[in-house]
Amino acid sequence: MLIFVINNLAQKKKFETLQKSLDNKIKIMVPQKKKFETLQKSLDNKIKIMDKLIKSSENKALILNKQLEAFIYYLYSFKNDSSIYQLLKPKSVVGKKKIRIGSKEDGGYILLDDFENIRITYSFGIDNEISFDKDLADKNIDIFMYDHTIEKLPFYNKKFHWKKIGLTEKKNYSNNMKTFKELLQENGHTNEKNMILKIDIDGGEWNIFSDIDNEILLQFKYIVVEFHFNDLCISQYQKVFKKLNKNHQIFHLHCNNYDSIIKFDGYYICKALEISYIIKENNSFIKFNDFFPVTNLDYKNCKKKMDINFFLNIYQFDNIISN
């Protein structure tokens, strides 16, 4: 009888040890299981985001091309001084107020209320929208306008000087394409300073700015451009923005919502971005404190679509990113 009791006690201790070991393993496994489930859920959500992006895209091939690669690059490469994000960071201009020139729809751009000694504007890409040019003409500024895709301007103004000529980055022997340098020489503006430059040529701007001499850019106090992010390599984006940043500073950005807008992982990405630059010389700058779109300055290019700024939810966290 005593032997039986001893055996039972030994079995009980063995069982209790086994039970304790099992309990410990369960304690370890439960959080591991939760961690795995959280990881699985996160992975599932990311897959859903990508699936949604692919399904909602007008062109599924867009997901694979260099454009999306570039967008993701400038959204997430915050620490890299050469990332598109860093190259497009705006600053506020000390003592100068922003104003809108042109239409409250597509065709208007943001400049500063400072037109001292400005008498000439070069405007490339006209179509039928010339409200920007008209507002500057009303300030007694001569507008040299070029567009080889139209037959005439929508209306006459004595300050308009239009030619059916397109802008090219290299010498072209056709009658309707000329380089920036050729046009400046023709108009006698090779030594002119404090001019305004506006370019909206549907993707051709990348080659123009890649090729243009810095000396020509220095002739312009303001440069306003609608950049179209076509299927180009990241290095060309970087080259162009680095060149523009050398002597000019971005002070305003706006997404043109007429073009496609992609939503990726909580961020809005627009394919057409309106950028306003001012020459750095004789100007002072402070940290950017605006929020885009700016009320009473920015308006929807297309009223039927939402107006967004894909920088808004990035620049708000700029201090966190830089730490």
For the stretch 118-151, pLDDT in tens is 999 999 999 889 999 999 999 999 999 999 999 9
> 186: which residues sit within 8 A by CB, 6+ positions away?
178
pLDDT of residue 195: 98
Tell me the longest C-alpha to C-alpha distance in the chain.
Answer: 123
Partnered with residue 287 across adjacent β-strands are 91
CATH number of the domain encompassing residue 192: 3.40.50
Are 29 and 157 members of one domain?
no
Are 223 and 266 members of one domain?
yes
pTM: 0.73
Are 48 and 68 members of one domain?
no
Angle at 275 between CA 64 and CA 142, to 5 degrees: 135
Residue that finishes a domain, picked among 13, 41, 56: 56
Are 221 and 264 members of one domain?
yes
pLDDT of residue 72: 54
Helices (H) and strands (E) in the chain, counts: 10, 15
pLDDT of residue 314: 42
pLDDT of residue 46: 64
Are 305 and 269 members of one domain?
yes
Instruction: Please tell me the total count of domains within the chain.
Output: 2
pLDDT of residue 95: 95
Give per-residue pLDDT as tens, 257-306: 766 665 555 555 677 889 999 999 999 999 887 667 788 888 877 666 66
Q: Which residues of the chain have pLDDT under 50?
A: 2-5, 58-67, 75, 78-79, 310-323
pLDDT of residue 106: 82
Q: Six-digit token pair at 273?
A: 């971005």
Residue that finishes a domain, picked among 36, 56, 76: 56
Nearest partner of 254 among 318, 308, 317, 194, judged by Cα? 308
Q: Six-digit token pair at 261?
A: 């807008």
Are 90 and 221 members of one domain?
yes
Q: How far apart are CA 139 and CA 101, in angstroms?
A: 11
Q: How far apart are CA 293 and CA 254, in angstroms?
A: 7
Contacts 24+ apart (CB under 8 A), 70-79: 70/229, 70/232, 70/233, 70/234, 70/237, 71/229, 71/262, 71/264, 71/269, 72/264, 73/234, 74/237, 75/264, 75/267, 75/269, 75/310, 75/314, 78/314, 78/321, 79/321
Q: How far apart are CA 151 and CA 164, in angstroms?
A: 7
Which contiguous run of DSSP H or E holds residue 146? strand 142-146
Q: How far apart are CA 128 and CA 80, in angstroms?
A: 41
Are 140 and 196 members of one domain?
yes
Are 131 and 4 members of one domain?
no
Are 18 and 87 members of one domain?
no
Q: What residues make up the domain containing 167? A: 62-322
Are 293 and 216 members of one domain?
yes
Are 1 and 140 members of one domain?
no
Residue that finishes a domain, picked among 18, 36, 56: 56
Are 231 and 271 members of one domain?
yes
